[in-house]
Chain A
Amino acid sequence: MRKVLFYIPLLAFLGLSLFLLSGLFSDPRERDSAIIGKPLPQFALPDLMSPEQIWTPENLKGEAYLLNVWGIWCPTCNAELGYMSQLRNEQGVRIIGLYYVLPEDPMFGEVFDLAKLQADVQSRLQAFGDPYQFNILDRQRRLSLDLGVSGAPEHFIVDANGIVRAHHIGDINPQVWRSKLAPIYQQWAAKP
C-alpha cells in the first residue's frame, strides 16, 4: 500500500501530460460560439459596391448562405478567395461577404475613403477570385462585434430563415469545408 502511494505523483503527471498533448493540437483561442441557433443580430448596413443598397437580416432571408467576415488587409482572407470562388462556381454555394473595416488611426494620418476601398477590393477580387454574391460594408464594425467575431477570416452559415447554424474561426480550405462546414451547409440549403 505504501509502495502505491509513491506512484501517485507519477500517475498524476502522466494524466496531466495527456491533456497537454491534446492541448498542443487544438487552438486555445477557439471558442464555442454563443450565436449558434440564434437569429442574426439586427442591422441595416450598406452594400460595399453600391452603398445606396441597404442590407438587413430580412432581405437576406430566403436561401441559406455562408457569411464571410474578411478584409483586404488580412492575408489569410485573400488566400481563401480562390477556394471559395471554386465553391461558388462548382457547388453553387451562396457566399456573402461582411467587409470588416480596420479602425483608422488619425494619429497616422488615416482617413476612411470609400472610393479607394472599392477600387482596392475590386482589384483584389480580380487577382484572387470573387466568391461573393455581394459584400456588406461594416464600417463601424457593429455587426462583427455582435456576431462575436474575434479576427478575420471568420465564417457563419446562416439558414433561409436567418438563423445562424455554424461559426468557423479561421480560413476555409478543402479539408475544413468537407469535414466541418459542408454537412451543415447542405443540411440547411436543402430546406426551403
Chain B
Amino acid sequence: MIPEFGQLTLTFAFALSVLLGVIPLIGSYTANERALLVAKPLSVGLFVFTLLAFLALSWAFYHDDFTVINVASNSSSILPWYFKLTATWGSHEGSMLLWVMILAAWTALVAQYSKGLPLLMQGRILGIMGLINVGFIAFSLFMSNPFERSLPFYPVEGSDLNPLLQDYGMIIHPPLLYMGYVGFAVSFAFAIAALLGGKFDSTWARWARPWTLAAWLFLTLGIMLGSWWAYKELGWGGWWFWDPVENASFMPWLVGTALIHSLAVTEKRGTFKSWTVLLALGAFSLSLMGAFLVRSGVLVSVHSFAADPERGVFLLIFLLLVIGGSLLLYASRMHSVRSQARYELFSREVMLWGNNVFLLTATLVVLLGTLFPLVHKELGLGSISIGEPFFNQMFYYLNIPFALLLGLGPWVRWKQQKAAPLLKPLSLVAIFALILALGTMAATQSIAANLALLGLLLGAWVGVSALFEIYQRLQQFGSVTAGVAKLQASHYGMTVAHIGFAVMIVGIAMTLTYSEERDVRMAIGDRVVLAGYEFELQDVYKLNGPNYGGEAAELDVRTVDGRYVTHLHAEKREYNIQRMVMTEAAIHARLSRDLYVSLGEALPGNAWAIRVYVKPFVRWIWLGGLLMAIGALISLLDKRYRRTGTQAGAQHA
C-alpha cells in the first residue's frame, strides 16, 4: 500500500510541477498577477508531495518490503536499520528520487525566501524551477520508477546493499552532493529569469549570490566528504582518483567558484554581465552533464549505475532542451548587452577576471580529460585512457599562477589600484611567507627543492596574505578591535575560504611528496618500520558482523625510539550476500600525519599481507575544504543578503 501511495504522491508532484512550469510563466507575459501569485503555493505543494514520495520509499526500505524491486535489489533484512534507510538512495532509482526531492526543496526555499523579489521575477524564477522539476520527476516516474513491484513472485530476501555503500559516509555524502548539484539550478533559474526579462542591472546578481554560495557550500562539503570516504573505504590511501564521476562533480564546483567571484563583480560594479550569466548557466549545465555521465553508462567509472541507453536518450534530450535552450536564449539576448563601467588594468576587476580565466581553464582541462577518451573512440581512433599524470601535471601548472594571483587579488581595489602603496605590505607578506614555509619544512622534513617546498611557499603566500589583508582592513576602521564588529561577514568569509585554499595546497603538496607506503608480509609478532614509526602486528582474528564475516588485525605503533603512539584495528570484511571483500583501514589521524594500515589477504604460514602508509599532512586537504565551506557559510550570514527592497547593498561599493 505505502509504495503505491508513494507513486501516487510522486504523480501528484508531477502534475504540480507542470502547473508550476506553465502558469506563472504565462502570467509573467500576460501581466496576470493571480497567475504569478500561484507560484509560491505550487512550489510548497510540490515539495510536500515529493517529500511524501521519498518517505514512502524509505518506509519500504525500513520495513524490508521485498515486493518492491528496488528494495529487493538494494537491501536485505539483516542490514542494520540506518543502512536500510541510506539504501533508499543507494540505487539509480532511489537516488533519482532523492535528487527530485532536493530539487523540490530548493524550489520551496526559493519560494519562501524571495519576498524581496518583484512578483514578476519571483514568478519567472519559480516557473523555471518548475520546468526543471518536470523533467526530473518525469525521468523518475516514467524511466526509473523506484516503486515498481515484482508481484506476484517476489524474493523472500534482498540481495543486500553494495558493501562499498555500507558506510557512514554514504549517509550524508549523496544528499550533500545533490544539494550542491541541484542548488545550482537556482542560480540557473535566476539567470534565465534575467535573460527573459532582459534586465541585467546589479540586482539580479545580488539576489543570486546567496543561493549560489549556499549551493557551492553544499557541493564543497559533498566533494570533500566523498574524497575522505574513498580514502577511508577503498583501502589504498588515495584521496582523489580523477575518476570520470569525481570529475563530473569537480567541473560544476570549478565553474561555481568562478561564478561566486564573477557575481561579486556584476553586483558591485555592474560589469562582466554576459560572463556571469554564462557561468550561471554553465554551473548547472555541468551538473546536468554530470548526472548524464553517471547514469547513461557512456563512461566507465566506479560510481556508474547500471547502463541503459533508453535512460541515456531521455537524459540527453532533457540536456539538449535545458542546456541547448538556455544557451540559445543566451545567444539571442545577451549580445546586445554592454557594460558601461570602466576600469584600469591593475584593478580588482582584472584580478577577478584572472581568477575566472584560471578556473575555467581548469574546468576545460577536466572536461577534455574526461570526455576525450569518449570522443577519441567515437571518431574511430581506438580506445585510450587519460589518467592521473595528465591531470596532475596540468594542475601543477595552473595552480602556480592561480595561487600567486590569489595572494594578490584581495589587496587590489575596484576600478584602479596604484602599485606603490601595495609594495610594502606585499613584500612583508612575501618575506613572512618565505620564513614560514622554510620553517615548516625544516621542522617536519629536511629542506629540499621539491614539490612540497613549492606547495608550502604558495600556501604560505596565500594564507599570510589573507591574514595581513584582513588585519590591514580592520585597521582602516580606526583600530582593529573597533573594526572586528564593523567588517562585513562576507569579508571574513572570503578570508577563511582563501586560507582554506592555502591549507589545501599545503596538504596536497606535502602528501604527494612525503607519503611513504610499504606492502609487507607480516606474521603475528612481526614488526615493520616506516618513516620513523614501528608497526607491530599483535593479533589477527575472525570477525563476526551482522551481515559480514572476515578478519581483523590489531597492531601497536611505537616511534623508533620506543614511545607508544597508538593501537590500530584494521578489518577485512567479507559480505555474505554480495560476496564482496571490503577493507576497513585503520587510521590514526593527526594534523601533521596519518598512520594508515589496511589488512590484505592471508598468506601461507599464518601470515598476512599488510599495507602500511604514513601520509604527512593529508588531513590538511579536507581541513582546507572544510575551511572553504565555513567561509561560504560565514559569507551567507552577511546582513545585506537578508535585507529586503532594492536599495540594499548599494552603499557597499
Contact = CB atoms under 8 A, between A and B. Distances in A.
A28 B300 contact: yes
B375 interface: yes
A14 B324 contact: yes
B296 A24 contact: yes
A32 B297 CA distance: 19
B327 interface: yes
A5 B312 CA distance: 30
Contacts of B292: 20
B377 interface: yes
B574 interface: yes
B109 interface: no
A73 B143 CA distance: 31
Contacts of A23: 296, 298-299, 374, 377-378
Contact of B274 (A6, A25, A26, A31): A6
B572 to A, nearest CB: 9
A3 B320 contact: no
Contact of B320 (A2, A17, A107): A17
Interface string B319-342: 110011001101100110000000
B41 interface: no
Given A17-B320, A26-B378, A7 B579 contact: no
Interface in A1-33: 2-3, 5-7, 9-10, 13-14, 16-17, 19-26, 28-32
A10 B378 contact: no
Nearest to B332: A6
B371 interface: yes
A5 B383 contact: no
Interface in A91-119: 107-108
Interface string B236-263: 0000000000000000000000000000
B133 interface: no
Given A5-B335, A7-B331, A19 B375 contact: yes
A9 B328 CA distance: 9
A13 B335 contact: no
A26 B374 CA distance: 10
B316 A24 contact: yes
B383 A32 contact: yes
A7 B327 CA distance: 8
A105 to B, nearest CB: 8
A108 B298 contact: no
Given A3-B335, A13-B324, A24-B312, A29 B300 contact: yes
B422 to A, nearest CB: 34
B298 A9 contact: no
A10 B330 contact: yes
B374 A19 contact: yes
Nearest to A14: B324
Nearest to B551: A107
B104 to A, nearest CB: 27
Interface string A38-61: 000000000000000000000000
Contacts of B312: 24
Contacts of A7: 331
A83 B647 CA distance: 77
A21 B378 CA distance: 10
A28 B319 contact: no
A6 B334 CA distance: 7
Contacts of A19: 371, 374-375, 378
A176 B515 CA distance: 50
Instruction: Sort chain B's interface into a size bin.
Output: 20 to 34
Interface in B365-408: 371, 374-375, 377-378, 382-383
Contact of A28 (B297, B328, B330, B574): B297
A14 B330 CA distance: 14
A10 B328 contact: yes
A6 B330 contact: yes
A22 B335 contact: no
A180 B330 CA distance: 46
A20 B316 contact: yes
A13 B285 contact: yes
B298 A24 contact: yes
Contact of A9 (B278, B371, B579): B278
Contact of A10 (B324, B374, B375): B324
A20 B298 contact: yes
A2 B478 CA distance: 48
B197 interface: no
B336 to A, nearest CB: 9
Contacts of A26: 377-378
A14 B282 CA distance: 14
B309 interface: yes
B560 interface: no
Given A9-B330, A22-B378, A28-B298, A16 B371 contact: yes
Interface string B295-320: 01111100000000100110010011
A29 B304 CA distance: 13
Contacts of A32: 382-383
B339 to A, nearest CB: 13
B574 A107 contact: yes
Contact of B374 (A14, A28, A31, A108): A28
A24 B309 contact: yes
A2 B300 CA distance: 40
B243 to A, nearest CB: 13
Contacts of B282: 9
A41 to B, nearest CB: 21
Given A24-B313, A32-B383, A108 B579 contact: yes
Contacts of B309: 24-25
B316 A17 contact: yes
Contacts of A22: 378
Given A17-B319, A19-B378, A23-B298, A9 B331 contact: yes
A67 B374 CA distance: 30
Contacts of B319: 17, 20
Contacts of B375: 19
5 contacts: A9-B331, A19-B374, A20-B319, A24-B312, A31-B383
Shortest Cβ-Cβ A-B pairs, 6 listed: A23-B298, A10-B327, A24-B312, A6-B331, A31-B383, A6-B335
Interface of A: 2-3, 5-7, 9-10, 13-14, 16-17, 19-26, 28-32, 107-108
Given A10-B327, A20-B319, A24-B313, 18 more contacts: A9-B281, A9-B282, A10-B324, A10-B331, A16-B371, A17-B320, A19-B371, A19-B378, A20-B298, A22-B378, A23-B296, A23-B298, A24-B298, A26-B377, A28-B297, A31-B383, A32-B382, A108-B574
